[in-house]
Amino acid sequence: RGRSYAHWKGQMLNSDELHELYEGLKLNNVNHYDYVLTGYTRDASFLATVVDIVQELKLQNSDLVYVCDPVMGDKWKGEGSMYVPKELLPVYRDRVVPVADIITPNQFEAELLTGRKIHTEKEALEVMDMLHAMGPETVVITSSDLQGSLGSDFLIALGSQRKTRADGTKVTQRIRMESPKVDADFVGTGDLFAAMLLAWTHKHPNNLKVRTCHQLLRKTKEKNSRVYHTRIWTTR
């Protein structure tokens, strides 16, 4: 995320073009989906059109799962910075997140969406509860500055999933994952994480414990560290 290239080609898909593509899908009766996944965009009107499409798709299929990676920025050396236009924040916060079923912000993006800073794990859990209250049943903070039990060479991700039991009671499963940092520069890890999380939750909808993303990066780097630490707990 946030990496700059000396040269790039192509064009940004705008809201009118997205709408036209979707109309073509409808005309051919192929606009029936079980999942929708969105990531990086720089256009607020595009995001608004995504919301309209997701809402229409959910009318056709109430079981559709919308996975949103609210890509807005990240932290470098402790300082947060947005690398998309600032007008995207209220669209994500007020329109996109409320229709999402799963969201995968990093710590900085979770702070932006809730207006709350995270300094401790307790504050992170409170922020995830705020995000739950906005709509999504599953919230994963994909990376954080939090200090884990295994030291500074490990990256902490936090997950929270709200479920309704057969008797109607609601429970929240929490998961903290500490994974060894991979000493390499990767582009697109957020996209990879969101896609792998979608695939994992499709196969195991009641189990957030996933290591696939780190394993792929580790194998890419040809690093052999196999030390992990995971804690899972449930609250009402």
The token duo for 59 is 């009318």
State the pLDDT at residue 181: 66
State the pLDDT at residue 91: 97
State the pLDDT at residue 34: 92
**Distance from C-alpha of 33 to C-alpha of 57, rounded to nearest angstrom:** 7
The model carries a pTM of 0.81
26 vs 150, higher pLDDT: 26
Where would I find the beta strands (DSSP E) of the chain?
A: 35-38, 65-68, 73-76, 79-82, 102-103, 138-141, 154-164, 170-180, 229-235
Rg (CA), the chain: 18
**Distance from C-alpha of 149 to C-alpha of 229, rounded to nearest angstrom:** 9
State the pLDDT at residue 233: 42
Residues 66-235: name the CATH superfamily: Ribokinase (3.40.1190.20)
Query: In the chain, where are the structural domains located?
Result: 66-235
State the pLDDT at residue 4: 57
- Fill in the DSSP letter of residue 97: G
Q: Which of 7-16, 24-33, 87-96 has the lowest mean pLDDT?
A: 7-16
Burial zone of 82 (CB within 10 Å; 0-12 exposed, 13-18 middle, 19+ buried): middle
* Residues 104-158 pLDDT 10s: 999 999 999 999 999 999 999 999 999 999 999 999 998 888 877 766 777 788 8
Helical H segments across 70-176, by residue range: 88-91, 107-114, 121-134
Across residues 36-46, what is the average pLDDT? Answer: 92
**Distance from C-alpha of 65 to C-alpha of 198, rounded to nearest angstrom:** 9
Q: Note if 191 is an active site residue.
A: yes
List phi, psi (to 5°) of 20.
-65, -40
Q: Which of 52, 129, 145, 191 is catalytic?
A: 191
Edge-to-edge strands, sheet with 229-235? 35-38, 65-68, 102-103, 138-141, 154-164, 170-180, 229-235
* Residues 65-89 pLDDT 10s: 999 999 999 876 567 789 899 999 9
197 vs 215, higher pLDDT: 197
The token duo for 122 is 């307790």
Cβ-contact 191, 39 below 8 angstroms: yes
Residue 191 has pLDDT above 90, yes or no: no
Helix (H, G, I), strand (E, B) or coil at 111: helix
